[in-house]
A = this chain, B = another copy of it.
Amino acid sequence: MGVLEGCGGKETAVGAVSCSKLPVPIRIIHHLLTLMVILGKTMGIKKPFTEVIRANIGDAQAMGQQPITFLRQVMALCTYPNLLDSPSFPEDAKKRARRILQACGGNSLGSYSASQGVNCIREDVAAYITRRDGGVPADPDNIYLTTGASDGISTILKILVSGGGKSRTGVLIPIPQYPLYSAVISELDAVQVNYYLDEENCWALNVNELRRAVREAKEHCDPKVLCIINPGNPTGQVQSRKCIEDVIHFAWEEKLFLLADEVYQDNVYSPGCRFHSFKKVLHEMGPEYSSNVELASFHSTSKGYMGECGYRGGYMEVINLHPEIKGQLVKLLSVRLCPPVSGQAAMDIVVNPPVPGEESFEQFRREKESVLGDLAKKAKLTEDLFNQVPGVRCNPLQGAMYAFPRIFLPARAVEAAQAHTMAPDMFYCMKLLEETGICVVPGSGFGQREGTYHFRMTILPPVEKLRTVLQKVKEFHIKFLEKYA
C-alpha cells in the first residue's frame, strides 16, 4: 500500500507529460512493483530487496522528516480552539493561532476565506518578503494565497495564454524542467519553448541560449512568458545575482512576463551560493525595470525545512500586473471559492515563525537548522558519491533537494531498451527499481539534451539510509555497465 500511496505525487506528474516519450508510464511501474511486493509477501516469492525506497518524490515527511513542532502546535490550536486553554501549548503559539482565527469568518478555519486569501496572512507574507529582501517593500494587495505553488503557476499561466495559430502564446521553460510546466502548457494548448540549461556549467542559465530560443520560437508562436526555477528542480543549481540581472534585462528587452518558481528559496547549501529573489534584484535594477517588468513569484509550504506538502499551502506575489489581468485573476480564483484555509494557516506560520525572545524560538531554530544542516550534508555526500561511480557525472547540488546525475549508458543498453520500446533511462530506472527497490525518475520525464541520459533522485532519506542507497545505486550501476558492456 505504502508504495502506491507515496507515488501519487511528482512522479505521476512525470507520467502525465511524458507518455509519448515513456512508453511505460512510471506510474504503471509502481503499480506493477506494488503487486510484485504484495505477491512476494503473500506467495513467498523472493525479491532481491526488502524495502522500496521512494527517492522519486520531494516528499520530506514521507521519508521520515518530522514536522516543525511550532507549526503543528499553531495548526492544532487553530483546528480545535478548546486547546487555547491548555497549559501544554506555549503562549507564542497561542498568540499566532488567535491572530489567524480572528481573521477567519466566525473565527474558524471552517469558513471560506476571501478568494485571494485571509487578509492578515497576506499581510504576514508581505512582511516576510520585505524582510527577506532587505527592505524592498511588498504590498499585501499583490499577494495571492494558493493551493500549493502548482495551483498558482497553473492559474497565472491560464490567464497569460491566449491566441491561436502563429499568435499562440509561447512559454519558455528550462530543460530539464519540473514537469508541471509542460503539463499545464499542453493543457492550455500553448507552445512549449525550450531553453537548455548548461550542464557543463553547473546547469547555469545562459542568456544567449534564451536569446536563441526566443528567436527560433518567434517563427511559429508569440513568446510571452519566461519561466525560471531557482533553485533548480530537478537540476539543483542556485542562480547568481548576475545571472538574474541578465535574465531580467532580457525579459525587459523582449517584454516577457517572468514566472519565478522560488519554492526552494530556503534550500541553499553550497558555500558561496545565496538565494536572490527576482523581486529584490528587479527592484535594485532601478525604476526602468521595476516599474515595467511583469513578474509573478511563487512559494510554498511543501519544501524548505518544513516539508508540509499535504497542506497544499502556497502564495504568489505579482508585480506590475495589468489591472485588467488582475481582475481576471480574481475572477478565475473566485470560481474555486478559496484555497484551503488550513494550508493558508500553515503558510502563515512559515512566514511568521518564532523570533528571538519568544518561548518557542530555541526549539524552532534547532529543528530548522537540523533539517537544513542534514540536507546540506546529504547534498555534498550525494555529489561526492555519484562522482566516484564510473559512467556517472553529477553537478554540485547547490540547492533544492534533488540530484540529477548524468549517466553514460553503453550502446548495448540503449539497444536493449529499444527492444523493450523504452527510453534508455527509463529502462535503466526500471532495472534499478527491480533489482534494488530504489525508485528514481528517468531524465526523459524532465527533458534533457538528445542522446544524454539522467535520473532524478531526492536526497530526503535520513543521512545513513541515503549513504546505503547511494552505495546500492553504485553497485547496481557497475553491474549494469558490465552486463551491457
Binding site for B on A (CB under 8 A): 1-2, 4-10, 12-13, 15-17, 19, 27, 57, 59-65, 67, 72-73, 75-76, 79-80, 83, 86, 88, 103-106, 108-116, 118-119, 147-148, 150-151, 154, 180, 183-184, 187, 306-312, 330-332, 334-343
How many angstroms from the CA of A110 to the CA of B334 in the assembled complex? 26
Residues of chain B within 8 A of A1, CB atoms compared: 103, 119
How many angstroms from the CA of A184 to the CA of B158 in the assembled complex? 13
Sample 6 A-B pairs with CB under 8 A, ordered by A number.
A13-B334, A16-B335, A59-B111, A61-B111, A148-B337, A150-B336
Residues of chain B within 8 A of A59, CB atoms compared: 105-106, 111-112
Cβ 8 A contact of A339, one of B72, B83, B312: B312
How many angstroms from the CA of A184 to the CA of B160 in the assembled complex? 17
How many angstroms from the CA of A339 to the CA of B60 in the assembled complex? 17
Q: Across the two chains, which residue of chain B brings its CB closest to A120? A: B1
Residues of chain B within 8 A of A311, CB atoms compared: 109-110, 340-342
Cβ 8 A contact of A112, one of B8, B112, B151, B331: B8
How many angstroms from the CA of A60 to the CA of B108 in the assembled complex? 10
Given known contacts A8-B113, A111-B309, A150-B336, what 8 new A-B pairs fall within 8 Å (CB)?
A5-B103, A5-B105, A9-B334, A13-B334, A62-B112, A75-B79, A110-B308, A110-B309
* A5, A15, A65, most chain B CB atoms within 10 A: A5
How many angstroms from the CA of A63 to the CA of B105 in the assembled complex? 8
Nearest CB of chain B from residue A265's CB, rounded to whole Å = 19
Task: Let me know if A6 and B111 touch, CB within 8 A.
Answer: yes
Residues of chain B within 8 A of A110, CB atoms compared: 60-61, 67, 306-311
Task: Let me know if A310 and B183 touch, CB within 8 A.
Answer: no
Cβ 8 A contact of A61, one of B83, B108, B151: B108
How many angstroms from the CA of A114 to the CA of B183 in the assembled complex? 18
Task: Let me know if B115 and A9 touch, CB within 8 A.
Answer: yes
Knowing A334-B13, A334-B15, A336-B150 touch, does A114 contact B8 (C-beta < 8 A)? yes
Cβ 8 A contact of A335, one of B83, B184, B310, B342: B184
Residues of chain B within 8 A of A116, CB atoms compared: 8
Residues of chain B within 8 A of A337, CB atoms compared: 8-10, 13, 148, 150, 309, 312
Nearest CB of chain B from residue A95's CB, rounded to whole Å = 17
Residues of chain B within 8 A of A15, CB atoms compared: 331, 334
Q: Across the two chains, which residue of chain B brings its CB closest to A81? A: B72
Q: Across the two chains, which residue of chain B brings its CB closest to A54? A: B105
Which 3 residue pairs of A and B lie closest in terms of their CB atoms, listed nearest first? A62-B105, A8-B114, A310-B341
Knowing A183-B335, A336-B154 touch, does A6 contact B309 (C-beta < 8 A)? no
How many angstroms from the CA of A8 to the CA of B113 in the assembled complex? 6
Nearest CB of chain B from residue A106's CB, rounded to whole Å = 4
Residues of chain B within 8 A of A180, CB atoms compared: 335
Nearest CB of chain B from residue A227's CB, rounded to whole Å = 15
How many angstroms from the CA of A88 to the CA of B343 in the assembled complex? 26
How many angstroms from the CA of A88 to the CA of B220 in the assembled complex? 66
Residues of chain B within 8 A of A72, CB atoms compared: 79-80
Task: Let me know if A8 and B340 touch, CB within 8 A.
Answer: no
How many angstroms from the CA of A5 to the CA of B106 in the assembled complex? 11
Residues of chain B within 8 A of A115, CB atoms compared: 8-9, 12
Q: Across the two chains, which residue of chain B brings its CB closest to A14? A: B334
Residues of chain B within 8 A of A17, CB atoms compared: 335
Task: Let me know if A119 and B73 touch, CB within 8 A.
Answer: no
Q: Across the two chains, which residue of chain B brings its CB closest to A8? A: B114
Residues of chain B within 8 A of A339, CB atoms compared: 312
Q: Across the two chains, which residue of chain B brings its CB closest to A306? A: B110
Residues of chain B within 8 A of A88, CB atoms compared: 86
How many angstroms from the CA of A73 to the CA of B80 in the assembled complex? 6
Residues of chain B within 8 A of A150, CB atoms compared: 335-337
Q: Across the two chains, which residue of chain B brings its CB closest to A308? A: B110
Residues of chain B within 8 A of A309, CB atoms compared: 110-112, 337
How many angstroms from the CA of A458 to the CA of B57 in the assembled complex? 44
Residues of chain B within 8 A of A108, CB atoms compared: 61-62, 67, 310
